[in-house]
Structure 1
Amino acid sequence: MNNDKYIQRDSYLKKLIIRKDNGEVKIITGPRRCGKSWLLSHIYRDYLTDQGVPSENIIALDFDKDDDKYDFDILDPKAVKNHIYSQIKSDTENYYIFLDEIQELENFERLVNGLNGHDNIDVYVTGSNSRFLSKDIRTIFRGRGDEIRVFPLSFREFYQALHYDVREAWKVYSTFGGMPRLIHYTDDEQKINYLQNLWDKTYIDDVVERNKVRNELAVSRLATSLCSSIGSLTNPARIANTLESVQKMKIDSKTVSSYIDYLENAFLFESAERYDVKGRRYYETNKKYYCIDIGLRNARLNFRQQEPTHIMENVLYNHLRVLGYLVDVGIVESREMKDGKMSYSQREIDFIANKGSRKYYIQSAYSIPSEEKREQELASLLKISDSFKKIVVVGDEIMPYTDDNGIYFTGLFDFLLKDEWL
């Protein structure tokens, strides 16, 4: 079995290399245990040393460790500052500062901005909290912050690292997901325990502590509810009603909305808004939520709800996000004649993926067993009049083709493993 060191995560390494010595603070964000620390402390460190950077010019501190590794108080900003500057011996040599889980250090902004003010110091920080979201970086780092978002292993990374047969790789990945540490485990029980402990001992506890939540049980059950409804339209009011009817928990929609924000800010879930393709506007109500990792989702549900359609949709969403696309749910409204009467219809496109000038309309179709199902999947795409690429991803292994309407069809594995589609 390979270990973490052989998962090179080349796409993230390239992003760091491009940003090296650019005068900005590099902020690596993502959920806890997704590989941010390994990316810096091993993959990027190895790159720097291979480029001739002396090991003593790479200064790394981990603020998430409560041990005796350091001979000073790692959570005392003044002690941290004194330690770092004591390691910088030259004004002409370049130094690389790695600060892991920086949000654990009070008043870290002053320390980081001070370090970044030196021409020969290149600063890299990691964070697992929303204080590092793009909208806040401009304020925290005085407009000199550059975010790199890290996700758990994509299916492509997982497949390339472990060299399974592609069908076996999908079977394992769609069940246990891509949290990097899982590659150490060969036993399913170990994998299950690890994922469930992440929820109980890391994620939920962190959300509750950081946001001073009084009702930990409500946050826990809300996470379960979101995992249960991935890919389904919902809103805080509907979730509150579900928690009351199913879990017998009385909670108002405003509190649910706040708790959802906490879970999103911890990078555990992402929401996709509904976008009217023809009207070019967003709907204010109802969103779809996706879990950041399908294995975490399954573990939260005790591996009970193993619906292949929803799992495939969540994996496709995460794949698009790993590639850097912003993702919405598309809505196409139209009026049609039906049974002699004019009726109003609203059809859904699973994903609208946007990155700069690029846009794709994507349908996730686990299987298309009949012409009726095919027409159902194509109905929304055929209502779009613009020239952006339209793709139907099928769970079956098929030979890619383009139909008479210019719509591309491809199998799931081809879409996830090859670059030609996007």
Structure 2
Amino acid sequence: MTRNTYFQSIEAFKDKQVIKVLTGIRRCGKSVLMEQFMQSLLERGVSERQITYIRLDDLDNELLLEYHNLYAFIKSALLEDRMNYVFIDEVQLCKDFQKPVETLFNCKNVDLYLTGSNADLLSGELATLLSGRYVTIDMLPFSFCEYLECIKENNFPAQTTEENYYDYVKFGSMPFTVQLKKNTESVYQYLNGVYNTIIVKDIARRHQIKDVAVLEAVIKFMFQNCGNFCTSKKISDTLTSSGRKTSQPTVENYMHFLEECFLVYRVERYDVRGK
């Protein structure tokens, strides 16, 4: 299924001298959207030699996690007399990725597209180095309208809108869960796998968190209090009173890490003044 809103956002910047950065939680459809855009380029007459696609989370591309190797590989594939379309998936896995990105950006015949699952890394390092030279397209899992459209395309048995909404709330909005529709155990296994990947790879390993149990306790508290006022002090006090001692600064760091990975979103209170 083509997600037209996001697809049109990419299309609007095609061949423009600006880096296109797709961000969003793991498994929300960034790679699929990128592949669909590449397919549309081929259908419009762009040759396969003009397209370079690299998935940095693929073990076959492990050597490209070193930025010199990444740049050399891409440079060797570029055609001098044509526009080259370069797609790098999960770019944040390459340490110092901003260095080859900056050099490629300065090539007049390179149209550069990136995806990443970490908001802070992309916005922080890219913003510093390439200020004003990139745009972000923030992707979310399926909206309810997209969920219904996907069900229709897959020819699932007809249900009322209320029944579909119940499934949407119960099973979540990750695109792949639609393929597992009605298989409760499979859906929960899949979502648990995504959750654990975010906790282990994107947070615990990257930030070298040793006591993952405290991190998960913070997550559980936040998930159980959706829609309520939630402060780091309240969380730290609650965890400490239940026998899991932690400090307010630690909780604040964990909350920030969760925001980085798009697992939660901050909603600021509108009525709090400067003090």
Q: TM-score surpassing 0.5? A: yes
Is 2:109 the partner of 1:114? Answer: no
Give TM-score scaled by structure 1 length.
0.60
Q: Give the SS at the match of 2:269.
A: strand
Residue of 147, 153, 156 corresponding to 2:145? 156
Is 2:52 the partner of 1:63? Answer: no
Q: Which has the higher strand share?
A: 1
Q: Which has the higher helix share?
A: 2
Q: In 1, distance between residues paired with 2:118 and 2:54? A: 18
* Inter-CA distance 245–283: structure 2 relative to 1 (3 Å threshold): farther
Residue deviations 1:26-72 (CA, integer Å, cap 9, x gap)? 1111111111111102x111221222211221100011112x3x5x8
Q: Which amino acid aligns with 1:78?
A: H
Q: Residue 22 of structure 2 contacts residue 138 of structure 2 at CA under 8 Å; is this kept in 1?
A: yes
User: Displacement of 1:75 after TM fit?
Assistant: 1.6
Structure 1: stretches of 5+ with no match in the other structure: 1-6, 277-281, 286-422
Q: In 1, distance between residues paired with 2:223 and 2:129? A: 32
CA RMSD of the aligned region, Å?
1.8
Q: Residue 15 of structure 2 contacts residue 111 of structure 2 at CA under 8 Å; is this kept in 1?
A: yes
Q: Residue 27 of structure 1 contacts residue 132 of structure 1 at CA under 8 Å; is this kept in 2?
A: no
Which residue matches 2:120? 131
Q: Relative contact order, CA 8 A, sep 6+: which one is greater?
A: 2
Q: For 1:194-233, what aligned pairs fall within 5 Å after superposition?
A: 194-200=190-196, 202-206=197-201, 207-233=203-229
The alignment covers a number of residue pairs equal to 267
Q: Give the SS at the match of 1:212.
A: coil
Q: Which amino acid aligns with 2:120?
A: R
Is 2:238 the partner of 1:242? Answer: yes
Q: In 2, distance between residues paired with 1:140 and 1:100? A: 20
Residue deviations 1:292-334 (CA, integer Å, cap 9, x gap)? xxxxxxxxxxxxxxxxxxxxxxxxxxxxxxxxxxxxxxxxxxx
Q: In 1, distance between residues paired with 2:240 and 2:5? A: 44
User: Displacement of 1:134 after TM fit?
Assistant: 4.2
Which residue matches 1:51? 44
Residue deviations 1:195-230 (CA, integer Å, cap 9, x gap)? 112212x01102011111122111111111110000
User: Displacement of 1:82 after TM fit?
Assistant: 1.8
Is 2:10 the partner of 1:16? Answer: yes
Q: Residue 95 of structure 1 contacts residue 122 of structure 1 at CA under 8 Å; is this kept in 2?
A: yes
Q: Which amino acid aligns with 1:210?
A: R
Residue of 240, 247, 251 corresponding to 1:252? 247
Which residue matches 1:173? 168
Which residue matches 1:393? none
Give TM-score scaled by structure 2 length.
0.91
Q: Give the SS at the match of 1:12.
A: helix
Of stretches 155-164 and 226-235 in structure 1, the one that deviates more from structure 2 is 155-164
Runs of 4 or more consecutive aligned structure 1 residues displaced over 4 Å after TM superposition: 132-136
Which residue matches 2:133? 144
Pair member with larger Rg? 1
Q: In 1, distance between residues paired with 2:44 and 2:148? A: 29
Which residue matches 1:261? 256
Q: In 1, distance between residues paired with 2:89 and 2:131? A: 20
